[in-house]
Structure 1
Amino acid sequence: MLKPNGLDPLKRLQQNSLGLYSLLVIPSLLLWLYYGSTDASLSRSIKGTWQGTLWHFPGLNALASRVLLDTLEALVIVALGWLFYRGYRLLTQWKPNSPASNQNEALPRTILSWTALCGAVLIFTTPFHSSDIFGYLNRGFQQSVFQTNPYLTTISQIPQWQNSPLLHAHWIDNPCPYGFFFARLTDWVTRWSGPSFTGAYLLFKGLNWLLLLASTWLIAKISRLMGHPNPWLAAYCWGANPLVLLHAMGNGHNDIIMVFLLLMALWALLSQRFQWTCLPLLTLSILTKYASLLAAPFILLALWQKKARGSLLLGLGLSALLLLWLGAGYVDPAQPWPWNALLDNAGKPQHSVISLLANALYYPLKWCHAPAKALQTQFLSVFKPLFWVGFASFYGWRLWTTLKTSPLADQRLLREIALVSVVMIAFISAKFHPWYPVMFLPLCLLLPQSSRLRQFALIFSLFQLAGFTILQNLPVISEILLTLVPLWLTLKGSALFKQTEQTSGI
């Protein structure tokens, strides 16, 4: 139990976690020792760091080295999940009303330092689960160095792209799948770094680190505005969460940018002084990753019901100006917009509930020597639209019930935004990856601790750590274990993340 006389148990967990995260830097150190610090050599070899192609364990070949490395990685990640859960249990037993008030003041510093130190270590970890960061930097370099439009020109259309150490074989045949603000941000990052892959890589990860710290602080601040008694527990569940740290920092995903801007928009909405910035911040979030668009009608409704008409009109005007400014350099009336390529990339079934249903049909048919692929394609052509029609109906229903609620409480607003986000991202989207919970986890953490939705998000985030292992690539089995089992545990009333009755808030 974490007693009022000190935070030592939590600090020990922090130190143990930091040590485990440091182990993930070892392959990066081997890369730098083997290839030196030349930008071109690091760029050429960085994607293979975890593949067992650059180095072998003594007496093992490349394949055996990779298997052993993946096993060790899985053990480290399981241990990180366990340490995180132990910290959660300690914090739910914290007694804030003690004479040692300095300990209460030290709690925010302890949680923020956990995020800062572990995140800083992971800046130097080369991506070991996803190569998306190389695709982000591709979009930046093709603008800053090759002077091409990432929406109208693919990497494969750039002459001799294979010979440039700035570009990598990732997303080379599809247009930029993200919004105008993110495309512009990658342009800025690669211009500030100059024609240096290593510089741009570290600069992008450094930006993620700053936003991770800022979003951790924002979650505590918004939780306090909402009147929750335990705002720093919510911050801990975000900033110390191994899924968030490993994906936002270790793999360098851009979800943290979208989330930070969305949290800023929510904070502005709840504050009386800065409500006029709410819609512009939300627009920047949408123009990073489009999932934030789900929150837009609810936030517009909240501004209307709060009678913040000036903030609403000014925000709409500023948002329109942002859209025009950011999109002006990318939209060319003389060239058709690549809608089909963008939608095709987003709609490929992968690791999702739709993928589960499609594969559950495909493999039995294949074993029966039936035309499995053709029948699976027909199945998807019917069920994908049905899923989206069902979600559109659900979304309209939630929006209608919110519209009829007057006055609209802030807690109700956050719950509705979190609910539609979870349903769409975790259950409706044809494509799902283990880092997608980062997009809705902070929204759920702003809900009361008794909320089933909040409990699902936490259980789901820990289960998705198994996505770092071979389990992710087992069709049907992975979707059942990593998506449906957390849902079942939540509906069953699992006590994993419930607050004990004797607990006081933080």
Structure 2
Amino acid sequence: MKSNIGHQQFTKISIFTFIVYFIAAICGHFNFLAAWFFNRHYFPLKSYLITFNDSKITNIENISKSIYNLAGYKALINTNIPYKLIDDLFFVFISSSLIILFFLGYKIVQSNTISHGAIIKWAVLFSVLMTVSIPSHSSDLFGYIARGAQQSIYHQNPYLETVDNIKDYRFNRMLCNFSWPHQPTTYGPVFIFITKAIVYLSNNNFLISFINFKLLNLTLYFLLILFVSKLNQTKDLFLIAWNPLILIQGLWNCHNDLVSGVFIFLGIYMLLKSKNNNKYFWSIFSLVFAFGIKYVSALIISVIMFYFLQKRTDAKVFVNLLLGFCSGLLLVLIFSMDYLISFRDLSISSSNELISNLDLVHQSLIAAVFTVIKYICNLSNLQFNPDKLQFILKSSFYITFLVFYFWILFKKKTNLIFEITLVLFIFIAFTLAKFHSWYLLNLIVLIPFLQPCFLKNILIALSLSHVYALTFLDQAKILNFVSMTMLPVLFMFFKEKRKEGSL
């Protein structure tokens, strides 16, 4: 009887969750069609719920009038409609609803026998809705299309040349949505090659490229769910398959962190399932491939190598690890060939642009500390050099992390997966100067490998709190870090301490 009640409750939660995702998805398509039918403009990255006519855009002659200009880059909107407030209220509702429903669903999964099939069935429905949704709050998908077009159509090297060098790029359907036209790319060469391949195979068509990038992430999401289900842990399957941060940032906004995150997951999965030496090969190979997409997996590779060196493991195991590393690196170099050839033309100015793009400060602990110091200095009428202050803060944070990282490398490891996860957590959440919520996709995919512990609970909490990146919180540096990162960590810390005290 209790099981039947649990299944009924889970079905209700699933239906309500579907409705929330459906509302989020349908609003974008409704406004897109309304803009097309009534000859208006729809910029979901500026306002997901409101469309604008020409008279509300003061620089209409300087931007693309294409219906596919969805980012509204450089568009200056002048209207009495409080469109930002309307959007914030809408996304607070969407975010809060998804978090509450996820929490209720997790409680049911913990206390009842919910089948894998039921969890996966609803996850497929949610994921399809998010895949067909028009991105909001992030232009990264449009950036991938622009980087692909930059290579496929204009034969530029994205590491050396910028989109703004292309004549009339603001009026080009493939380029007009890109919000970083003055910056060279910092993504790994594997992913940059993928952008070129997808745009080329899409016949340099914006809509087909858009669909194919979305399908790439959806395919990898399904692959992730497949392998998580093989671990045969129902709670962990729910935590990943229903995770709103993965569905929103990985599928709705289509970030490539889901791509690198899935390969990180596969690398750790094969490491743990290594009953023969071949799995060690494919484990490191997968992690090196992830490095070719986003570089964070380099931290994992070093920890694994040092772990097996300290264990003085069988020579065949270490040989397979080295072969996997070398093979993966060779593949990354093959993907890099088009870009390496042009690096002889690397100038000092383009080098500085590349470095500055790597070191942009966003909603991070460094940004929060910098902002607090700046406010204190301004209130106290103290003079300070912002560039020097940023340099000191970044140097201090990075040096501290390096000390911690080398300590992890050389200490005797009792729990390899825990220490890998801890390193990534400290690096992404507290060290990076350039931090966005979707970077956590590289980290929360490790939840299924962790035993119940303080760190696992923190990752679950962060995967929920950072859903609010859809709201105004993402624009407030101090409030952003405090509310979405620091408070959830402190809450879980004191909760753990209280639990220890009651034992």
Name 2:300's counterpart in structure 1: 295
Name 1:340's counterpart in structure 2: 352
1:386 is aligned to 2:389: no
Distance 2:288 2:455 in 1: 26
Moved more, 69-78 or 306-315: 306-315
SS at match of 2:185: coil
One-letter amino acid of the counterpart of residue 402, structure 2: A
**Residues 49 and 384 of structure 1: is their aligned pair in 2 closer, same or farther, counting only changes over 3 Å?**
closer
Whether the 8 Å contact between 1:459 and 1:497 is mirrored in structure 2 is no
Name 1:349's counterpart in structure 2: 361
Name 1:100's counterpart in structure 2: none
* CA drift at 1:27: 3.1
1:217 is aligned to 2:215: no
* CA drift at 1:94: 2.1
Name 1:121's counterpart in structure 2: 129
Q: For this pair of structures, how many residues does the alignment match?
A: 466
For residue 376 of structure 1, the aligned residue among 358, 369, 386 is 386
Distance 1:430 1:303 in 2: 31
Whether the 8 Å contact between 1:459 and 1:496 is mirrored in structure 2 is no
1:321 is aligned to 2:321: no
TM-score of the aligned structures, taking structure 1 as reference length: 0.85
Moved more, 207-216 or 466-475: 466-475
For residue 476 of structure 2, the aligned residue among 449, 474, 477 is 474
**Residues 323 and 78 of structure 1: is their aligned pair in 2 closer, same or farther, counting only changes over 3 Å?**
same
For residue 450 of structure 2, the aligned residue among 442, 447, 452 is 447
One-letter amino acid of the counterpart of residue 289, structure 2: L
Distance 2:398 2:282 in 1: 32
* CA drift at 1:47: 4.7
Whether the 8 Å contact between 1:70 and 1:469 is mirrored in structure 2 is yes
**Residues 244 and 55 of structure 1: is their aligned pair in 2 closer, same or farther, counting only changes over 3 Å?**
farther
Structure 2 unmatched ranges of 5 or more:
55-77
Name 2:64's counterpart in structure 1: none
Whether the 8 Å contact between 2:42 and 2:52 is mirrored in structure 1 is no
Name 1:227's counterpart in structure 2: none
1:34 is aligned to 2:52: no
Deviations 1:455-493 (A, max 9, x none): 111112211122221123234233222221112111102
Q: What's the RMSD between the two structures over aligned residues?
A: 2.8
* Residue pairs, 1:165-244, within 5 angstroms: 165-167=173-175, 168-221=177-230, 223-224=231-232, 231-244=233-246
Distance 2:408 2:5 in 1: 46
One-letter amino acid of the counterpart of residue 362, structure 2: Q
* Residue pairs, 1:13-52, within 5 angstroms: 13-36=13-36, 47=45, 50=48, 52=50
One-letter amino acid of the counterpart of residue 351, structure 1: Q
Structure 1 unmatched ranges of 5 or more:
96-103, 225-230, 502-506
* Percent identity of paired positions between Structure 1 and Structure 2: 24
For residue 287 of structure 2, the aligned residue among 277, 282, 301 is 282
Deviations 1:186-225 (A, max 9, x none): 111111211211111111111111111211232343x45x
**Residues 445 and 497 of structure 1: is their aligned pair in 2 closer, same or farther, counting only changes over 3 Å?**
farther
Name 1:360's counterpart in structure 2: 372
Distance 1:6 1:55 in 2: 50
One-letter amino acid of the counterpart of residue 288, structure 2: T
Moved more, 249-258 or 474-483: 474-483
Name 1:437's counterpart in structure 2: 440
For residue 112 of structure 1, the aligned residue among 96, 120, 124 is 120
Whether the 8 Å contact between 2:365 and 2:430 is mirrored in structure 1 is yes
Deviations 1:6-63 (A, max 9, x none): 63322221121111111112332224423549xxx9998565562734379xxx9663
SS at match of 1:440: helix
Whether the 8 Å contact between 1:415 and 1:444 is mirrored in structure 2 is no
Whether the 8 Å contact between 2:127 and 2:218 is mirrored in structure 1 is yes
TM-score of the aligned structures, taking structure 2 as reference length: 0.86
Whether the 8 Å contact between 1:115 and 1:213 is mirrored in structure 2 is no
SS at match of 2:102: helix
* Residue pairs, 1:152-171, within 5 angstroms: 152-167=160-175, 168-171=177-180
One-letter amino acid of the counterpart of residue 438, structure 1: L
Distance 2:101 2:167 in 1: 49
* CA drift at 1:255: 0.7
Name 1:400's counterpart in structure 2: 410
